[in-house]
Structure 1
Amino acid sequence: MDNQMEIIARNIKRLIKENNMTQKELSNKIGISPTTMSDYMNGRSKPSHGVVQKIADFFNVGKSDIDTTYKDSISPTNDILLIYNKLHKERQERVYMFAKYQLEAQNEELANPDITVLEDYKEQRREKIQDLEDADWLGIVSAGNGEWLGEDNSEVIQLPKHIIPLEADYCLTINGDSMEPMFHDQSYVFLKKDVELHSGMIGVFILNGEAYLKRIWFENDGARLESFNPKYKDIYVTKEDDFKCVGQVVL
């Protein structure tokens, strides 16, 4: 079986299972024969671009969630709008406030080209931001190839109150670019602890002693940790691995 056809087949099987459907039901929904669907599922043929789009539209996912070769052509703007429109009003307001803060920070950087020392810039920001709040900071998490995370790193830091989600229990600093364009290198990510794991959840996970910021998918008897940046390969988790969830990302 061709490797890409195997990936496509595995992803279609996962979506069918997650939505409690059968192959026949899906084939009827998207207008193809059960035999053709069986060929896709068993790696005997590869679905056309149009069929991939139909499956993606039916499950309300991106084409890259089915065929990973589409990753490079994903429009971040469309993805952001799709996610935003699915959120409840309260969560939409949080996303808006976070984006507004990022824009203000960017505009301030552009308006102050003479600030060349990082500490000077930080001091100026501290003087202008009055409404600060304590946040429990647990250290650094990898948005790349893994980062050790220990409880000894825990400390209290102050952050602008409006960027801290109401549900957040603590925060971490991101190291790496594997979750671009949604999560940026050296920015903060906020987590809610004691959550129930489910496919599609974005969280921080410890795998064999190293912490990762990833999206998780449960497949067969294991799990797959996915990056948003297409240059990073998925990480697979087996029963033999030491694996746990630190918390779910909240916005």
Structure 2
Amino acid sequence: MNFGENIKRLRTSANLTQSELAKQLGIKQSSYVSWEQKKSNPTLELLEKLSAIYQIPVRKIIEKDDIKTDESKLLDQFRLLTKNQQEELVDFANFLSQKPKPILTVAPNVIELKTFKRQYLNYAVVEDEQLSAGYGQTVTNTGEKYKAYTDERLSRYDGAARIKGESMEPDFPNYSIATFLKTGFDQDGGIYAISEGDLGEEQLYIKQIFQEGDHFRIHSLNPNYKDFYLGEEDNFRIIGPVVDNFTEIEGDQIED
């Protein structure tokens, strides 16, 4: 099991979402997502934070071998004990083993943060508005734009925006960047950027769209979200198909 699979297993076992864990670590969700996708690795400081959250040694996070089932059950039971009970259990374990266990230390070959040369990266010009991958979000567009960098090749696009929400996961992660065309609707079952509402008060979505008679069925890839329908009476428009989606490379990973 590799590092990305290790941390994903630990997160799901702890019933944490990517956004919840990223908040505890004090980083952007896109940074954490890149660890699970094996596109980058955490610093030693962040590894130690993960160790504290899961209450396991750093070695158990970065090693390939999984925690044995019996060890995992024992760890779960240990966490349910009071502090005094934990201390008594530790003393008893030391007695059984005849001598205290050596303190585990981090291996000298610390995982280094992957870096990129700016000149070799591609980027999308992103507007400050966001595409909701939930049930919609009212958006105020200030007209400001910024560059989001990626090492992936990007197809031609007319617009780009950041995704907010988890309804299109796992294919379109929360806080990732989506690029799209402004060519309207042309393929049933495609993934589209759509807007609903009056100008300046639109709700923007990224959704899978199916045409059913005079209405469109708006579908989420995440099964926890229900479909809904939009028609002419709903004051909405299909902006165009999504062509690319990528996790932004953080600024501290880019070298000029």
- TM-score normalised to structure 1 length: 0.49
Structure ranking higher in helix proportion = 1
- TM-score normalised to structure 2 length: 0.48
